[in-house]
Amino acid sequence: MVILTWTLSIISLLTTMLGLYWLGNKNKNGFLVFNVSLNCQLVLFYLQSNYFLITQMVILIAFNTWNYLKWRKDEGIKD
């Protein structure tokens, strides 16, 4: 269990840093990388039974997905 927690924490840290870098360089894929980070955190909080933070992660994942789709729409890309 400890190895899983550490692995998810490190993946979350690295993907958060990469997502920040990409969004800072105006790369919309930063939102997708942030979603990977948020999903890792979601699993960690589930393992800790921290339901308030689970709810927060679900909301942030929804916002990131919405912003990614909005960015695609602003570029004129249709699904």
Predicted confidence at residue 61, as pLDDT, reads 96
Q: What is the pLDDT averaged over residues 17-27? A: 94
CB 57 within 8 A of CB 41: yes
Model confidence pLDDT, tens digit, residues 35-77: 999 999 999 999 999 999 999 999 999 999 999 999 887 777 6
Task: Return the sign of the alpha-carbon dihedral for residues 23, 29, 35, 37.
Answer: negative
Enter the pTM of the model: 0.85
- How far is it, in rounded angstroms, from Cα 52 to Cα 22? 28
